[in-house]
Structure 1
């Protein structure tokens, strides 16, 4: 050993020892953190292999072993999974601000114009501004009520289609998709877009949002998304949606002012763009992102809720009979059930609550992300942890619900539990700052359509497929087999 090397070694030794002590201190600090229970994980992929095709069911089973608040590893991302009322309440109410942001996600980032929408944008001033526009101007009670004529028109058109089938088999799933799509098109864009290509575009969008992006959880393997064609498909859908929306915006910019009554949601957003007095300017991409948001949230989840509710009624004749008696008493022989009649129907509302409990459209809601370190139910949660609320598991938890797997609407008749985000036993629309702002818009469609269907027709399942309760995979959980029914007009 040379003299020079000895001098170098002894001169750097204190620095090396300091580094080792720091490493030891940080390691000790981490090890002393009280982290939530975690299942064993594999190198690189963590617990990804355990999620399977139905993550909400897999995570429910894991929670039975590791508890209602567990920490799993999806690739390189730590993910906190909440499966109880208390855990959900802590995240969505007590510490709502800390958990109000969204994690970066590859596919939504491509489809929603770098997440300039409401659902996937990160928490901050931009999100506060666009959420405020949605709540005050797009989805307010007054605005939702102003589109009553649209709901009435589309509901009547669907009833006429069923009537013209003259007792033959009706694909009710297809009719419900068309109805919800037409309502959203007319409200958001001012007219219907009924072409098959447009419907397929919406279907492809929802399918992509439900796809697993390897690169979002293992950045070093992002090439897998490229190789599999996932990114290419997302870019193609984004391009097609963009071309469609460019045409819609140009059409709206060129049209004459129809007055306040004739305005659709694009008109309102364009008015905000022109008004610089509010100190926040909506750019063109922002408007398009919000419109895509309205379509994906407004069509898919609404149709899904109706489809499951009708399926459960057909499988439970006693509940169907109870609902029919209620609507007949309220309808009193009139040609239709009007929106003003809906508040007189507690059993109708109970049926929809029970359908939403058993079949939450987004079982894991939209992921959240913690923005700072926080203590949660005694556990240490680090900043940057992704958070999943297993609303599906909470809604089937026997400690919250008697006979949780059974369809029993009457459980809500003497219960104050609602779906508006104040009761954490039932979270189909989320809660807190990131709760869905379109609850009223969705539920008035659900109530109006369901009330009139059972008022005007006796429905019966056709074939064994109708009894199949299998689910599709994706961000929204649909009924796998279409709902095929025979519809006999009630005299």
Structure 2
């Protein structure tokens, strides 16, 4: 090797070492002044290797050390995590305008039709139209009132199935029961069909897709280190693409069958009819086929499994604490009696039932980490500098278990929401100590439906049956992290009717 070649080689090595050191220093120490405190993390990967399989728990433990506004370098991405009601309020109310958009992530691209859906679309005319249509025709107060008969009918279907299991002494898989009922509620409004009873649709395939969709989400390295995204190191993107193809085939079939049967609904359009006809006026914003398919994906995944997950958790907690079931039965027998089923009009008169639901939102939020947002511009929060394009996560799970907010936070105690301040706490996103559906303009579009359906179904199930675990079975309260916080071990129960026989007809 010549001397010149040797110098060039040495210079190249020196430059490489400098670049690695420079990147590492930026990741470990940050290059902005007065960032919020947070863990240093690893070179290149930042805090990613620290998160483990339960990121919401890890981030909660970190917040105890670094504080409720915490900065992490997640790969090459700046990330801030809010873990207190005050921090959440600052980001989601005071600075809501600056955090209206979502970051670009693999799930939005490969599952959400390139972020054409209601969850991941950027804030703008198309998103506003999607939100307006779903609020006016499906998820808003008037729309929910208009399809109350659908909820009543589907709950009766569920009760009859439970009675059959009770007669045979067979255990019931609670999650399967709930997901079937809630999906049918949604599908009757969206496409005028019960998905889990129509032989023209493969309901089992649909259910498998939804389950995979809700569990496939995790920490995807490519979302945080874009330069290695093409390698798909975890195989997540490949799974997303395959799942997307399956769902696209399924949604295409639904839409084609719907168009062919449109004459049957003349004068009485359902939600999909309304969405597909929107934009016929050239002056209006027009939804694309991708928007419609992405919206169907939202409604049939987030719209069903969040509610079913919460109800499954609360039943598990009640089985752990039988005195809660006893108190709930006492309240319901006084208000409703045992001669008829619970109706939605009874719900305002059942404060203990509402307290049970609030306590479940607190300790088992369906979305433990809020769907991420991203800062449009740099901003100041509590004296800390938040750079432009910083991703925001609110640790809803941590807020619900914060001992500075809740006394005995690990205890499942519905009484904390009876009387005084607790009774006034609203889970719809106005009180930041309890915000299971998020807050601000990007909170869950279906929060009204979620609250109403959860109270109605849970109240009906508790009022209508006595509950116990199958012989020899112990309850398992382990969590499985994903888009929703599922039970790691599905809940199986045995029920027996407690109302007069003709009440179930």
Alignment of 1:38-49 (within 5 A): 38-49=38-49
Q: Secondary structure at the match of 2:405?
A: coil
Give the corresponding residue for 2:251.
245
Cα shift readout 1:377-427 (whole Å, capped 9, x = no counterpart): 110101100011001101111111111111111111222111111100011
Asked if 1:68 corresponds to 2:68, the answer is yes
Residue in structure 2 matching 1:212, options 219, 223, 229: 219
Which residue, out of 459, 478, 481, partners 1:470?
478
Cα distance, 1:228–1:435 mapped onto 2, change above 3 Å: closer
Between the aligned partners of 1:252 and 1:145, the Cα distance in structure 2 is 24
Q: Displacement, 1:48?
A: 0.6
Number of aligned residues: 459
Q: How far did 1:463 drift? A: 5.0
Q: 8 Å contact 2:338–2:498 — kept in the other structure?
A: no
- Structure 1 Cα separation of the partners of residues 455 and 339 of structure 2: 17
How far apart, in 1, do the equivalents of 2:264 and 2:161 lie? 33
**Contact 2:125–2:285 (Cα < 8 Å) also in 1:** no
For the pair 1:114 / 2:114, whether they are aligned, the reply is yes
TM superposition shift of 1:232: 2.3
Contact persistence 1:466–1:483 (CA under 8 A)? no
Partner of 2:292: 287
Q: TM-score, normalised by structure 2?
A: 0.87
When normalised by structure 1's length, the TM-score is 0.90
Q: Paired residue for 1:5?
A: none
Counterpart in the other structure of 1:184 = 186
CA distance in 2, matches of 1:175, 1:32: 51
Other structure's SS at 2:412 match: coil
Aligned to 2:360: 355
Matched, 1:372 2:380: no
Residue in structure 2 matched with residue 21 of structure 1 by the alignment: none
User: Unaligned regions of 5+ residues in structure 1, if any?
Assistant: 1-25
- CA distance, structure 2, for counterparts of residue 231 and residue 391 of structure 1: 27
Give the equivalent residue in structure 1 for 2:396. Answer: 391
- Judging changes above 3 Å, is the alpha-carbon distance between structure 1 residues 163 and 143 closer, same or farther for their aligned structure 2 residues? same
Q: Residues 374 and 382 of structure 1 are in contact (CA less than 8 Å); yes or no, is this contact kept in structure 2?
A: yes
> 1:129-208, aligned counterparts within 5 Å?
129-165=129-165, 166=167, 167-194=169-196, 195-208=203-216
Deviations 1:56-93 (A, max 9, x none): 00000001111111101111111101101111000000
RMSD across aligned positions (CA): 1.8
1:267 matched residue in structure 2: 273
Offset, 1:129 = 2.6
What is the alpha-carbon distance in structure 2 between the residues aligned to residue 304 and residue 186 of structure 1? Answer: 21
Q: C-alpha distance in 1, partners of 2:495/2:440? A: 41
SS of aligned partner of 2:114: coil
Please tell me whether the aligned partners of residues 311 and 466 of structure 1 are also in contact (alpha carbons under 8 angstroms). Answer: no
Residue by residue over 1:197-216, the C-alpha shift from the partner in whole angstroms, topping out at 9 and shown as x without a partner, is 110011122222x1332211
Q: Distance in 2 between matches of 1:439 and 1:32?
A: 37
Partner of 2:228: 221
Is 382-391 or 199-208 further displaced after alignment? 199-208
Q: Answer whether contact 1:324 1:455 (CA < 8 A) is retained.
A: yes
* Unpaired segments ≥5 residues, structure 2: 1-25, 197-202, 500-505
